[in-house]
Amino acid sequence: MGDVLSTHLDDARRQHIAEKTGKILTEFLQFYEDQYGVALFNSMRHEIEGTGLPQAQLLWRKVPLDERIIFSGNLFQYQEDSKKWRNRFSLVPHNYGLVLYDNKVAYERQVPPRTVINSAGYKILTSVDQYLELIGNSLPGTTAKSGSAPILKCPTQFPLILWHPYARHYYFCMMTEAEQDKWQAVLQDCIRHCNNGIPEDSKVEGPAFTDAIRMYRQSKELYGTWEMLCGNEVQILSNLVMEELGPELKAELGPRLKGKPQERQRQWIQISDAVYRMVYEQAKARFEEVLSKVQQMRPAMQAVIRTDMDQIITSKEHLASKIRAFILPKAEVCVRNHVQPYIPSILEALMVPTSQGFTEVRDVFFKEVTDMNLNVINEGGIDKLGEYMEKLSRLAYHPLKMQSCYEKMESLRLDGLQQRFDVSSTSVFKQRAQIHMREQMDNAVYTFETLLHQELGKGPTKEELCKSIQRVLERVLKKYDYDSSSVRKRFFREALLQVSIPFLLKKLAPTCKSELPRFQELIFEDFAKFILVENTYEEVVLQTVMKDILQAVKEAAVQRKHNLYRDSMVMHNSDPNLHLLAEGAPIDWGEEYSNSGGGGSPSASTPEAATLSEKRRRAKQVVSVVQDEEAGLPFEASPESPSPASPDSVTEIQGLLAQGLRAESPPPASPLPNGAPAGETPQPEAAPEASSPPASPLQHLLPGKAVDLGPPKPSDQETGEQVSSPSSHPALHTTTEDSAGVQTEF
């Protein structure tokens, strides 16, 4: 590798790359400085004027759960230096950096990891053929001849390859298809999280950066969505540089690479990765320098904004009126002919998979809470509650249980519309919707935790505990339905704008863009940092299509499509003091409701036991496929204890629950994981209720109440505490970071 890099990346070429990178960064960072003032003004104006958004009904977790690992297990990794496959102990901490150790012992002894992978910008490939096709396309003229040795050979039929257009690639394989599916879900979760690298709570720096990226690319005649808007600011900036620098290097160096096609492919991957790292370091230094500069200027800009807020708003409105008078006739014609007819089609294409995903979130939440209630009742009441609530609290971050929700978005297609509107990929919409799903799941779980904890203060009996869980579940589901509708409507509006605005700007550019500089004279010099002609022009263009987008989403809600609520709906009697409960200290279910008691075991008093206990506590995780390294195949996973009598549906849980209630015997000494007595195998076909899911299986525990076994639907009632029938209800999970999970930058 050293010979390849020294040959093709000598000092002269490295200097050329640094100069080219510096030129691109200088141009971009000027856009960033310009956008920073605009974003600061918008943020301060937003704080004063408010949002007007509906009040969320669900709570959100302010303090993350500590010491959690998302996933861990063993997998084979291909070592490029030795060209051999090695078994690695792998884990994913809360920050979603994939951490690889030589083995589990190395992890427990806190030996530094062999590799830490930040997967922002990567794609997962599940076959070597897919990978070879991408490699062949990345460097023209290097497609290997039929029958020749490929660049990579996998010892099993179940590879997972992390591919990046610029950075190094990572090669893994598993022994079974089931393990491949699990690790694919985990790695996709890592990518989804790392791609969303700009903090949501960044109200100035984040918008300034993304607007600067858009403005810079539009200055290069690049409109539409950009697939490489992935990761933190420095990663995105590196991708921006490589977008320009990569083709130039490929044209220069490609013909000079020697050897067989697969060897030239390998050389190009090494060169591209080396250049990407050089660009990254240079981009990091320059961005941090400019960020420090604008942050030092921020207090002075804030003082001007506070003093002259009204004048700035008046000046901006005057500018907008002049631009509107100039472009409105052209923009309205463009919207009417090229955008308006397609809005319903785009909206429907977005609504179907997104709403299916949110419905699946509801289903998973309902099933997990129902399953927990069953387990608690059969295993001795409140003594087991802490254990099960601790698991439930991490549901939103359980990559396998959430996979059924995320995969609904994979069916999103904008066939015919994608090319028309210059949408390079739908992945940006898929990942955004999936992030919303995870957030809503966690909000639902946290709200359930908070309300149930309040109920437990009343000291309920075993039967009262079951009723409380069911009552809280129904309240949370109604709140989830309301928030789900609000979140989805906002997502649809944003996605429609993201599709249509770049298209309109590109259409209007030939006749409008050259005329914009003449409007600069309308801006007072003192306000030039907070008002930009280009931004105001885009806002005017947005307003021309916004009315049609709002109307389309409103009509869908009025027709109750996909259980969307009307904007006029208000949740009456909707726990006005609920948000006060979230101000308390985080709930530690393991400490408060553990069945281990306060006495402890004699072994816990020894230093050896304490060390073992600490190791186990450190390794608390959402899900694990760790095996005994001395036993069997390293890839045969057992994430949870297998049970021959574990029910797979809410209907089967209902049958077990009914049977358990009829049998007036004490809980079994050795319950199965689902809470059913040992030796009792559920027989769904024998249960008369098995024809359809119940509104709530736990209603069997409420004597004197009729049980509605019809398929439940979210309530159409618009009153506050009207119970929503839980047809589909999901659970939430949260995790936090581990000291071993510090990510590298790429």
Q: Which helix (H) or strand (E) holds 165?
A: none
Distance from first CA to last CA of the chain, Å, rounded?
19
Check residue 55 and give its pLDDT: 81
Q: Under a CB-based contact definition with an 8 Å cutoff, are residues 376 and 384 in contact?
A: yes
CA distance 207 to 35: 8
CA distance 229 to 212: 12
- Spatial CA neighbour of 1 closest among 268, 327, 312: 268
Which residues, 6+ apart, have CB-to-CB distance to 365 below 8 Å?
395, 441, 444, 445, 476, 477, 480, 729, 730, 731, 732
Check residue 97 and give its pLDDT: 92
CA distance 429 to 617: 37
Q: Which residues of the chain have pLDDT under 50?
A: 573, 596-613, 615-619, 625-746
Which residues, 6+ apart, have CB-to-CB distance to 194 below 8 Å?
96, 97, 118, 119, 120, 230, 231, 743
Check residue 143 and give its pLDDT: 60
> Taking the CB of residue 641, how many other CB atoms lie within 10 A of it?
8
Check residue 635 and give its pLDDT: 36
- Spatial CA neighbour of 690 closest among 725, 658, 646, 655: 655
Calculate the dihedral angle through the C-alpha atoms of 693, 696, 699, 705, rounding to the nearest 10 degrees: -80
Q: Under a CB-based contact definition with an 8 Å cutoff, are residues 665 and 680 in contact?
A: no
Check residue 601 and give its pLDDT: 30
Check residue 597 and give its pLDDT: 39
Number of residues assigned to the chain = 746
Three-class DSSP labels, 653-722: HHHHHHHHHHCCCCCCCCCCCCCCCCCCCCCHHHCHHHHCCCCCHHHHHCCCCCCCCCCCCCCCCCCCCC
For β-strands 98-101 and 115-117, DSSP reports them as antiparallel
52-84 b/e (C-beta count within 10 Å ≥ 16 → b) = eebebbbbebeeebebbbbbbbbbbbbebeeee
Check residue 666 and give its pLDDT: 36
DSSP letter at 733? B
Burial class (CB within 10 angstroms; exposed 0-12, middle 13-18, buried 19+) of 524: exposed
The whole-model pTM stands at 0.79
Please provide the CATH number assigned to the domain covering 71-196. 2.30.29.30
Check residue 356 and give its pLDDT: 96
Calculate the dihedral angle through the C-alpha atoms of 701, 705, 706, 709, rounding to the nearest 10 degrees: -30
Nearest-5° Cα angle at 577, 574 to 581? 120
Q: Which helix (H) or strand (E) holds 333?
A: helix 261-334
- Spatial CA neighbour of 476 closest among 497, 453, 507: 453
